[in-house]
Structure 1
């Protein structure tokens, strides 16, 4: 496996996570910089509850990170940002990754 290339299980998780149009939009929005949940939900036109579901899935796949911060007025704000990633898909890369699948 080449350095930095995801193993088979990680590749499946990354691709499955990015297969959602909502999650692709979240990554696209966060590629411009970190943002907090309420503002991001407004920008994307979805509920905070639905956004939280997608953010948790993205975080589980290692594609975004979060940090809880307290604003000047004492409100807890959860900020998310994209973790830089690159997935180069070729038949050979899929072949190498498939050799490491756990199932």
Structure 2
């Protein structure tokens, strides 16, 4: 996803992902380091299943990425980190992106 020139759907996904306070906390926690789900859930004080829902939404929006690594004891651990991004929201960006929105079209019966 190119946040310098996002499509309408990209912009909707990013704004929707960032519109949740818990997801903002996840981004803040991962801003300067990568971490695995269990550790991050403990730090944020939320359940792992709920955290995984938030992480999937952030990953779908292109704001975080994940890698699976195997620990020394053979346990698979999924690490997340912030995907570097810059978003400068301007009326012009919104006007340009709005011309390519298809998300609302799919929601219509």
Equivalent residue number for residue 89 of structure 2: 89
Distance of 2:87 and 2:46 partners within structure 1: 27
- Alpha-carbon distance in 2 for matches of 1:79, 1:68: 6
1:10 match? 10
Q: CA deviation at 1:93?
A: 1.1
| 1:1-103 pair list within 5 angstroms | 4-102=4-102, 103=105
TM-score by length of 1: 0.93
Q: Which runs of 5+ in 1 are unaligned?
A: none
Query: Does the CA contact (< 8 Å) of 1:69 and 1:77 recur in 2?
Result: yes
Structure-2 separation of matches of 1:81 and 1:21: 18
Q: Distance in 1 between matches of 2:40 and 2:5?
A: 30
How many pairs are equivalent?
Answer: 102
Preserved contact between residue 5 and residue 87 of structure 1 (Cα < 8 Å): no
Contact 2:67 2:79 in 1 (8 A): yes
Structure 1 residue ranges (4+ consecutive) displaced by more than 6 angstroms after TM superposition: none
Q: By how many angstroms is 1:4 displaced? A: 3.0
